[in-house]
Every structure is written in structure tokens, then in C-alpha cells.
Amino acid sequence: MSDHSPAPTPTNRRAQLRGAIVRPTLTTALLLVLYFSVPLDNVNNPRSWLLLVGAICVFGAVTTWQFRRILRSRYPVPQAVETIATVLPLYLLGFSIMYYLMAAMNPGSFSAGLSRMASLYFTVTVFSTVGFGDILAVSDTGRAVVTTQMITNLVLLSIGGKLLYGAIERSRKRREPTDPV
């Protein structure tokens, strides 16, 4: 199926690019405000764990929705950038919530106490493979979750990158006129 709409104008492209920057920036800001403001002080409160489960569900739903947007987009590359900029903060904040709750339940899980900022910092150092060594998982449960994050990081980067590239290519091919042979 080819797209016979008029060629995109520079104004349309700029508006699309602006949206691909503004929407994820606002989404990330909102997620950070929620992360730092939603009460997580009582780990025995099911609400804290429901927040974590909710973050996982939102991550899956947003990821699926964003990939569909790439497939339907007239401009798949900016849409892919928006997808990365939206999905990555959700992913990182999900692990940050997990580490924060683990540290609150069992302060011996990590080599240092974890505030929300320290949890986010630790999550990003694990994701980026920097691993400064100032915070370490010392319990078996902590190490298991960190190992899970490391494996998930690899899957997210490799398979996620492949899927993202495939969605961009599929969207581009959908827009190309077909050969009338």
C-alpha cells in the first residue's frame, strides 16, 4: 500500500521533529516528578508493589504503542527517536523502584543505603555498564535482580534495536510506491 499524500514540507518535518523532542522530554519530566513524589516509604504497603507492577505494565503497553506508531508514521526515524526517549526512562525508573523497595525491605541488600536518587543512580550505572563500585549488590537477591537488569539491558539494546530498525524499514517500505509490473 503506497502513500499518495503530498510530499512533506520542511515545516511539517520540523513540527514532527519538535514533537519527537518535546513529548518524551515532558514524559520524562512527569515520570521523574512521580518517581520522586509518590509515597514508597512503607514497603509492606501493597501500593508500593502495585506501583512497581504498574510501571512494568505501563512499560509494556507504551513500548507496544510506540512501535505501532513507528509502523504507521510518515516519519519513522523521528518516531523511533521518540520511542527510545519515552521507553528508556520507563525502563530505568522501573528498576530504580525495584532497587529502592529492595533496599527498604532489606537494608543489607546493597553496600550503601539507597535513597530514590541513589537507586536511580545505581540503575543508570548498571545500565551504562560504568559500575563505579560505590554501590554494590551484596545479597543474593540483590545480585539476582542486578543480573536480571544486566541481561535485560542486553536484550533491550540488541533485540530492541533490531525491532526498532525493522519497524523503521517496514514503515519506509510501506510508503514506497510499488512497481506496477
Partners of residue 61 on adjacent β-strands: none
- With a pLDDT cut of 70, the percent of the chain lying above it is 91
Residue range 79-101: average pLDDT?
87
Q: Using CA atoms, how far apart are residues 17 and 8, in angstroms rounded to an integer?
A: 13
- With a pLDDT cut of 90, the percent of the chain lying above it is 30
Partners of residue 110 on adjacent β-strands: 137
Residue 99 in contact with residue 122, Cβ under 8 Å?
Answer: yes
Q: Tell me, rounded to whole angstroms, the distance of Cα 173 from its chain centroid.
A: 27
Tell me which residue has cell 521518540.
Answer: 82
Mean pLDDT of the chain: 83
> What domains are there in the chain, each with its CATH number?
10-168 (1.10.287)
The residue among 153, 156, 176, 174 whose CA lies nearest residue 164 is 156
Q: Using CA atoms, how far apart are residues 51 and 98, in angstroms rounded to an integer?
A: 10
pLDDT tens-digit readout, 4-61? 445 667 777 788 778 778 888 888 898 899 889 887 766 677 777 777 787 778 878 8
pLDDT tens-digit readout, 116-159? 999 999 999 999 988 888 999 999 999 999 999 999 999 988 88
Using the predicted structure, report yes or no on whether residue 103 has a pLDDT greater than 70: yes
